[in-house]
Structure formats: structure tokens, C-alpha cells
Structure 1
Amino acid sequence: MEKTNVMRLLDTVKIEYTARNYDPTLVDGEKIASILNEDFERVFKTLVTRGNDKNYYVFCIPVVFHLDLKKAAKSVGVKSIEMISQKELLPLTGYIHGGCSPIGMKKRFKTVIDETATLHKTIYVSAGKVGFQIELNPNDLRTYINAKFDDLVI
């Protein structure tokens, strides 16, 4: 299996992970979880938002849930947030829709991982390329990207 930049970054800091790949024509998180034969609540999607303060914020939530914008805004200390458009994603993060990872973005943004991640020994996030996921310990992820856990979902 080819190594993505995310995998190389984790190798550099010696964080354990398991790489998995799937059909790259799939971008639906629930279908990806099914193909990986994993619990939907362990497969996380990465969402990028903009706050009313014009700063960007990243949220990682299970693929079966929706981001509660009010909870998310409160978590990062702003009045409101909104999702960015798909066309903004690549220039801002270096990732395309369906392959956005909380690891290795062009810039570090304040990141929050839904607290349900702490219920699992490992979770999945994108490996930075459509068709690739990594499984890793949620605390290792939180520490590496300097994130926090909080209640984010509806």
C-alpha cells in the first residue's frame, strides 16, 4: 500500500496506526465504514468551518452524526460558525473533499474531536487521500494535532 503524507508524518513521530484502503470512488462516510466492516461511530469525518471571527476551525465527528453548529461554536469560543465551501477546502487545507484529514493540513487550525472518540480504543480518520483511512488511538490523535475532546454532535 502506498504511504500518504499523513502516514509519513505519523511514522516520523512514531505514532502507531493501521492503514486501510477502499474504493476511491466512495466519499460517503457510512459506505466507507461498511466496506471497512467497522462501527459507524468509530469512523470520523473531518469538517472545516469558519467562525464569525473569520478564523477557521476543524471538527472531527463520527460519520453517522451531524455537527451541531451551536455546540461547535461554543467549543471554540465564538458566536457562530459555518461550513466552508468545497472550493475553499483544497487551497486552505491541501486536501480535497473525501480525503480531508485533521493531520497534516497546510496550517494548524484549532481542532476539536467529538468526545465519543474517547469511548473507543481506536478510531478512523482520513489518511489525507481519497481511498485511504488510518486507524489510531484517539488520544494519540488529540495530542499530535493539539486538539481537545468536546460534545459536538446532534
Structure 2
Amino acid sequence: MARRSDASAGTPATSALTRAGIEFRAHAYEHDPRAAAYGLEAAEKLGIDAALVFKTLLAAVDGSLAVAIVPVAMQLDLKAFATAVGGKRAEMADPSLAERKTGYVLGGISPIGQKTPLPTVLDESAILCETVFVSGGRRGLDLELAPDDLLAVTSGRYAPIARGR
């Protein structure tokens, strides 16, 4: 996979990957503003298996924010996520707080290049993937990279944090 620093795809996420020397591929698509499920839209528009597309979610664990990255076709298991970050209770973060802390808009929140570095956990299902797709920092842009590289650039770790719908 070639590193790509396409100027049209320039976001804090792509800049962070380039600075870190991590190989990635940027995939742009025409975002439909009526789409409610951004990750599933990305899978459909890019013609890829939804199991490879991961969504970035922010949750408050015992009052502190943390980042969860789970497959778009699954849900975040809040109890498992709290345990994974060493807490007792987790709840989804307020959307406006998530935007302020990350510097990204909903539907375009990337786990990479956030304004405020936060503890990050990637669902262990990603271990089975050669590459995964995550938001590139804006709606209509996904980044493809190796899951271990995603963890390296976010200082994250694997844990079983997803559950079926």
C-alpha cells in the first residue's frame, strides 16, 4: 500500500499518518447528507465489506473521555469498553463535546490526529483484518491502513469491545 498525501484529502488524520511514516490509502467518496449511518454509507460507496469499516465513538468512562473503534455493523459494548480502559461505567459522550475534543465533525471523527489525545481501544476483531478503514477526518473520506499501524499512531490497544446489533 503506497503512502498517499493527496492534497485534496489533507486532514489532521492524514497529516499525522504522514508525519509518523505510516502507510495508508485515502478513499474519497461522495457523501450523501441524508445518510444516517456514515460507516455503512462508506462501505456501500467504496464497495467494500462492512466488516472492514470501523466507526470512531467517544464515551465517558467514569467521567473521562476515551475513544472506541468498532466495526460499523456492530455496537459498542459500554460495559466491556469501561473495563478495557480500567473503569467501571461508560456512557456515550455528548456529540458537541466529541466534536470539541477531537476537532472533527460527527460522521467525520477520525481516531487519528485528534486535538486532544485520548485513551483509544480498537475492537479485537480488527486483528483478523489485513487492513481496516476508518474515518479520515471529514465526511466522505476513509483511510485504509493496517490495524497495528492504527494502534501505533493512536497509542491504542486491542480489546473485545463490540457486540452484535
TM superposition score normalised by structure 1: 0.95
Match of 2:3 in 1: none
Mean CA deviation greater in 22-31 or 65-74: 22-31
Other-structure match for 1:66: 75
Residues 1:48 and 2:58 aligned together: yes
Note if contact 1:27-1:130 (Cα within 8 Å) is conserved in structure 2.
Answer: no
Please give the residue correspondences for 1:13-92 in structure 2 after superposition, counting only pairs within 5 Å. Answer: 13-24=20-31, 25=33, 26=35, 28=37, 29-52=39-62, 54-92=63-101
Structure 1 stretches lacking a partner, 5+ long: none
Single out whichever of 119-128 and 16-25 deviates more from structure 2: 16-25
Offset from partner CA, 1:37-74 (integer Å, 9 cap, x none) = 1111110000001112x211100000000001111111
The answer as to whether partners of 2:53 and 2:71 remain within 8 angstroms in 1 is yes
Superposition RMSD in Å: 1.2
Q: Counterpart in 1 of 2:155?
A: 146
- Structure 2, unmatched stretches of 5+, are 1-5
How many equivalent residue pairs? 153
Q: Please give the secondary structure, in 2, of the residue aligned with 1:117.
A: helix
| TM-score normalized with structure 2 length | 0.89
CA distance in 2, matches of 1:32, 1:140: 21
- 1:59/1:113 contact within 8 Å kept: yes
Q: Is the 8 A contact 1:94 1:105 kept in 2?
A: yes
Residues 57-94 of structure 1: per-residue CA shift (max 9 Å, x gap): 10000000000111111111111000012121221111
What SS is found at the alignment partner of 1:57? strand
Q: Which runs of 4+ in 1 moved over 6 A?
A: none
